Structure 1
């Protein structure tokens, strides 16, 4: 029986080795340089949507609002009506972002749909995480007085500028050829309406009129109601406003689109009643107490309301300056300032912001509202100073109307080189803005001497560099080079008031 007696063979010995196999990488996506205008060497900044050119508009801020995915269709109840401020400006829903790289599709993209889905989800998680990291949990948003009942009989009192004081059938300046009644209202129709805000203060009066460069009443009203639903309420609480077919926002938009004056007034009356009820039962106050940041689109809207009621009616006065001097007026647009304050310098409510040459105060108010910080501005030209003081009064009152507590605002009228209050606050400043686009070399040199008193780590945002590094190397006698560490950046078109072209700016850190 050879099968039973045969000698058993040894099992074969198997040798294993690890061998690296080169895998051909997928081609990298191509960056669309045209839309990647703002590039920072040390970081990639998440961007906003590209704003349209402001052109002849008297209002210095473009409209940078991004569209939510649910609001891109014309039938969506949250669709905004674009405003006509000096010219027609349409907000592109789903448009590309000039501050963020955009990638062309490569040949493998269509084969990797599943990978793209997971990558998209991961990107959304990272975006939410980074946004959460920027929330200033120390900030309290609620203006308590806005939700306290009136003392004694009658409604609460708040003296702010109503829309009817700017554009109204009772004012002769509203009878120009460009002014007309909205919703195809006739001369016999009553176009006076009231708009309730998310507080217990009295509603604002509007006449349903449209005039180029002034308030578009219908658009303003729909925007206010939409902001209330978006920010002041949870999704469940906002159902009465956002229901796609019968919601209040849908009803307002439908009436606007069909020029249904009676339907618009009925929908607005129902919206006012609902908003007042939510203010009275404490819903708005409870929700605000859980929030620590204002969406930039709401901040921009509140700032635009202030500007429209104080500066826009007499904006031509800002053109009265002497060329060839340091007293030249220009504004940084809203989206520019938003990037600098929120993402590049990461300001918080316990910090101090100073604007040297603050003009009508736009950036000062934006910092106080968006960041909630102590905000200072100094200006010496009379007309901008007068506008700034008017804006300060309306800003404080309109923030209360919205139930929001901004940071403290301090305006100094005079020369920032000699004002003692400015020199004192600079010692505590965390971020200093200097729009030195048109400053003379002598004034820039004097500013550098002021920067000697800045604390270590203070950042200076300027349109031009204070150092001479770009002019043949560092000079040991150059004070600016010795005390400042400078980063150079670029901004896209539509970010400043004096040109539609892009340009450069600097963020210098005190060593």
Structure 2
């Protein structure tokens, strides 16, 4: 198992963006004078413990270790700890969670250290009882909220430090970079009814967010393929961090993940995978007509019932006039397509909502047409 990138490492790599945890600390201290208060944070995984520096973040968009502690402890109690053990951690009104929350709000270093010591003691006791041990291998899939949190942790540690590389692309080309967000991926999972025995493919997978989320939430086999160098490089780093955190830190299972740095139009191995796919996702929002037609040609051998979800439709949306104008011998004729809508803040390139399309392979409609 690859070692995780710790919160302490992130702070040490950018000491100039941090200050002592105190209400009086309004600006970053000189790197040479910043004394780091370091504490461990126990996770559900066996021997899983992450080191944190208890410092304030002084620059927006930089990694905030205190916010990460708060979100992580809340997430573990809500989504990892069995119900009969939750009471020992309290809630937002009392107990350990309340102590952590209050110390963070007061920016009290001493109070936070005491609260985290109590947290660690309780977590060690639960791990000694083997409460979490089976989950990594046989437990249920992590919840959407848990997976989203682990993705944010993996992103902040593996992608964010080099996120400027994602802006290196040719404008108005097929390689313009954009991400779909966790809430939209969750919608896709529900709409496509992705199951553990399914094969999921992301054509143009970027930094791998969609593939990782589907693998963790659905426990299915997932494949992503990305042609651009920088996103593919960061995807490989994020995959290592995400899998380590899911399995090693949170003791949660994950489906098999395969990421390739290649052209999905030319890669022979992926062509064979596509033939077996149950669900394919294509973020073709910025693709030109020629590329969309070339992608459509890859779908000729899809199995019956396979689903293709895209941001632009590959064929006219199913209405009587659209169906009557479709050529019976065209690739498009194997699909039915339905138009759906996503809400605000679902994609990185715009705040408002938009459309997406679900294409389903249904060759029976051809047979009916010739009866």
Instruction: Identify the residue that residue 234 of structure 1 maps to in structure 2.
Output: 82
Aligned-partner Cα distance in 2 for 1:381–1:503:
25
Cα deviations by residue, 1:330-374 (Å, 9 ceiling, x for unpaired): 111110010111x20111111110000000111010111111110
CA contact (8 A) 1:345 1:431 kept: yes
Instruction: Identify the residue that residue 365 of structure 1 maps to in structure 2.
Output: 212
Q: 1:268 aligns with which of 113, 116, 133?
A: 116
Instruction: Identify the residue that residue 378 of structure 1 maps to in structure 2.
Output: 225
Instruction: Identify the residue that residue 398 of structure 1 maps to in structure 2.
Output: 245
- Residue 181 of structure 1: CA displacement? 3.2
Q: How does the TM-score come out when normalised to structure 2?
A: 0.88
- Residue 468 of structure 1: CA displacement? 3.8
Aligned-partner Cα distance in 2 for 1:372–1:185:
47
Aligned-partner Cα distance in 2 for 1:496–1:346:
21
For residues 39-78 of structure 1, the aligned pairs below 5 Å read none
CA contact (8 A) 2:142 2:253 kept: no
CA contact (8 A) 1:461 1:506 kept: yes
- Residue 501 of structure 1: CA displacement? 1.5
Aligned-partner Cα distance in 2 for 1:288–1:159:
16
- Residue 228 of structure 1: CA displacement? 2.1
* Unmatched tracts of structure 2, length 5 or more: 26-32, 363-371
CA contact (8 A) 1:462 1:505 kept: yes
Instruction: Identify the residue that residue 138 of structure 1 maps to in structure 2.
Output: none
Q: 1:195 aligns with which of 25, 38, 41?
A: 41
CA contact (8 A) 2:139 2:252 kept: no
* Unmatched tracts of structure 1, length 5 or more: 1-156
Aligned-partner Cα distance in 2 for 1:245–1:499:
37
Aligned-partner Cα distance in 2 for 1:294–1:469:
35
Q: 1:502 aligns with which of 337, 353, 364?
A: 353
Aligned-partner Cα distance in 2 for 1:463–1:318:
20
Instruction: Identify the residue that residue 15 of structure 2 maps to in structure 1.
Output: 174
- Is 1:338 aligned to 2:186, yes or no? yes
CA contact (8 A) 2:22 2:107 kept: yes
Cα deviations by residue, 1:469-491 (Å, 9 ceiling, x for unpaired): 59974231672430110000111
- Is 1:161 aligned to 2:5, yes or no? yes
Aligned-partner Cα distance in 1 for 2:160–2:224:
20
Instruction: Identify the residue that residue 253 of structure 1 maps to in structure 2.
Output: 101
Closer, same or farther: CA 458–194 of 1 in aligned 2, 3 Å: same
3-state SS of paired residue (2:345): coil
- Residue 203 of structure 1: CA displacement? 1.3
Instruction: Identify the residue that residue 489 of structure 1 maps to in structure 2.
Output: 340
Aligned-partner Cα distance in 1 for 2:279–2:62:
33
- Larger of the two Rg values belongs to structure: 1
CA contact (8 A) 2:208 2:238 kept: yes
> What is the Cα-based RMSD across aligned positions, in Å?
2.2
Aligned-partner Cα distance in 2 for 1:330–1:419:
22
CA contact (8 A) 1:380 1:414 kept: yes
Q: How does the TM-score come out when normalised to structure 1?
A: 0.65
3-state SS of paired residue (2:327): coil
Instruction: Identify the residue that residue 327 of structure 2 maps to in structure 1.
Output: 476
- Residue 189 of structure 1: CA displacement? 6.0
CA contact (8 A) 2:40 2:51 kept: yes
- Residue 191 of structure 1: CA displacement? 2.1
Q: 2:285 aligns with which of 424, 432, 437?
A: 437
Aligned-partner Cα distance in 1 for 2:6–2:102:
25
Aligned-partner Cα distance in 2 for 1:194–1:233:
19
Instruction: Identify the residue that residue 448 of structure 1 maps to in structure 2.
Output: 296
Q: If each structure's helix is expressed as a fraction of its own residues, which one has the higher value?
A: 2
- Residue 421 of structure 1: CA displacement? 1.4
